[in-house]
Amino acid sequence: MNGSRSNKDKKQAIFDISKEENFPDWYGEICKVAELADIRYGVKGFTPFLPWSVMSMNLMFAYLEDAFQSRDHLPMLFPTVIPESNLIKEANHVEGFTPQVFWIKEIGDGEKLEEPLALRPTSETAIYPMYSLWLRSWRDLPFKLYQRCSVFRSEIKSTRPFLRGREFLWIESHNVFATHEEALAQVQEDIEITKEVVTEHFGIPVMVFRRTQWDKFPGGFNTYAADTLMPDGKVIQLPSTHDLGDNFAKAFDVTYLNENNETVNAWQTCYGPAISRIYGAMISIHGDDKGLRIPFKIAPYQVVIVPIYKEQTEKEVLDYCNDIVKTLRKAGIRVHLDKREQTPGWKYNYWEMKGVPIRVEAGPRDIKEKKVVLMRRDTMKREPIELSALKKTINTLGEEIDANLRAIAESKFEGLIVDADSMGTIEDALEKGKIARIPFCTTEMDGLPCDEAIKEKTGGEVRGTRSDVEDVATGVCVNCGKVATEIVYVARSY
């Protein structure tokens, strides 16, 4: 009997996989049953994204674009293809990216292109030749522009929906300044945007590192990246921002006339928050063994209403629920009334698995008492509330849920960092899912062999120096024994 509170088919929709013990299975299965992505497309690393993930990613894009626009960054959109001659102009950059490039050399039935075109792996080499044309004098500066688009990289590592794909969704912000100081201030603003959007809005805590010279953006001066922690104890890089110095300005002639009428190189930064990857991290971090737990702010449906009725009460209950839909929608709340044939019990499990933050249950008894029953997904607590208080309660509850999900995620950072001073103690820390803080010779290129040794012996890699906390170097490098000039962090990573 549709709509009646019966548990007979409840089991059909139950999701039950231990996220902590078996994260890869949890992740693969939730992508499938929650209908987030379908890995059966038939081209390695290219995955269709389904409405349940796309609706959240669109909301995530909106938060990010708001953060940019409120800081006077404007949107633009460049072509998806980059001519080969542009791509190879900056030597370090080309070395870093060309092995990953998809090439277009042919149109239609065998017609050769005059010049090969690359699918953009990132757009510096598309954008900066135009910046060179657009930038004339110091009066034009700063340029603060971004684009929302797909990028394409033929990853060698195994791919996974959202977390690592050969096509992924991002915003790339490309900025030009008159001085290096202003460029460095932009790097700080980018880190501020990361924290505002990724941590405050999406509830994902991050640590910010300045990457080593061998792990930075190819062609730039320095890379600053936000890492978070996945349920399997590995860290994953979320947005990174790059001080490009004047390297690209030199390669692409991004110059301007200064106030003394001299032609000088500009200073540049770029920043690339990848929404699809942040989405993958978001569902991984907030989910539990019953499925997704999506923050209220970015949930496709913030509230789902499950009507409870028998044949003779159907009209009364659906009318009551439709009124609630109208009231909540008018208040700007994203609400969905589930009128499908299945039982309420089945629907409860279904929407718990899909991670809808708040469930409203309404049946004949609730109508009589002018109440509804509310269930919050994060704690699974149910309570009846007065219908008249519904709108206000939902908004308050939404904030509480988001704060709680963030607090749970932040609690995983407690005690996460462990001091180590030898390969053995690093390995111990990593085995326990911790991050090792170690004395290290140098993050200049000379330190690369020590990173490689650490990787070989412990499976972890040097993530760089913290740029959001002060560390004082003491002791000697765990590998080469030279006096440590820096404190770096070692973690297993994606």
**Binding site residues, a second copy, CB under 8 A:** 38, 40-43, 46-51, 54-55, 58, 74-81, 83, 86, 98-109, 115, 117, 119, 126-127, 129-130, 133-134, 139, 145, 147, 150, 152, 154, 167, 169, 341
Q: Considering the complex, what minimum distance in angstroms separates the CB of residue 49 from a second copy?
A: 4
CB of 101 to a second copy, least distance (A): 6
Concatenated DSSP letters for 251-297?
HHT-EEE-TTS-EEE-EEEEE---HHHHHHHHHHHH-BTTB----GG
Residue type, 466: R
Hunting for tokens 């990787």 — which residue is that? 455
Determine the distance from the C-alpha atom of residue 350 to the mean position of all C-alpha atoms in its chain, rounded to a whole number.
Answer: 25
- Contact indicator for 280, 274 with CB cutoff of 8 Å: no
Q: How far is the CB of 162 from a second copy (least distance, A)?
A: 12
> Which is closer to a second copy, CB of 177 or CB of 221?
177
Among 314, 317, 309, smallest CA distance to 4 is for 309
Cα 422 from Cα 424, distance rounded (Å): 5
Q: Which is nearer to a second copy, 79 or 384 (CB)?
A: 79
Specify the amino acid at residue 342.
Q
> Could you tell me which of 146, 145, 98, 90 has the C-alpha nearest to residue 120?
98
Residue nearer to a second copy on the CB measure, 125 or 313: 125
| Paired residues of 265 in beta bridges | 255
Nearest-approach distance from CB 33 to a second copy, in angstroms: 13
Closest to a second copy by CB, 107 vs 380, is: 107
Cα dihedral sign for 66, 67, 70, 76?
A: negative
Length of the chain: 494
Least distance to a second copy, CB of residue 123, Å: 10
Residues near 22 by Cβ (< 8 Å), separated by ≥ 6? none
Closer of 78 and 214 to a second copy (Cβ): 78
3-state secondary structure of 413: coil
* Residue nearer to a second copy on the CB measure, 52 or 309: 52
Which of 81/418 has CB closer to a second copy?
81
Q: Rounded to the nearest 5 degrees, what angle is found at the Cα of 163, between the Cα atoms of 161 and 167?
A: 70
**DSSP-assigned states of every residue in 287-330:** -BTTB----GGG-SSSEEEEE---GGGHHHHHHHHHHHHHHHHH
Closest C-alpha to 181, from 107, 266, 123, 89: 266
Q: Looking at beta carbons only, is 41 or 386 nearer to a second copy?
A: 41
Q: Least distance in Å: CB of 113 to a second copy?
A: 8
Nearer to a second copy, 139 or 330 (CB): 139
Going by their DSSP bridges, the two strands 417-419 and 461-466 should be labelled as unpaired
Q: Tell me the two tokens of residue 16.
A: 């039950």
Q: How far is the CB of 130 from a second copy (least distance, A)?
A: 6
Q: How far apart are CA 292 and CA 353, in angstroms?
A: 6
> Considering the complex, what minimum distance in angstroms separates the CB of residue 137 from a second copy?
12
> Of 445, 147, 170, 132, which is closest to residue 268 (Cα–Cα)?
132
- Shortest distance, position 201 Cβ to a second copy, whole Å: 20
Closest distance to a second copy from the beta carbon of 228 (Å) = 24
Q: Which is nearer to a second copy, 225 or 294 (CB)?
A: 294
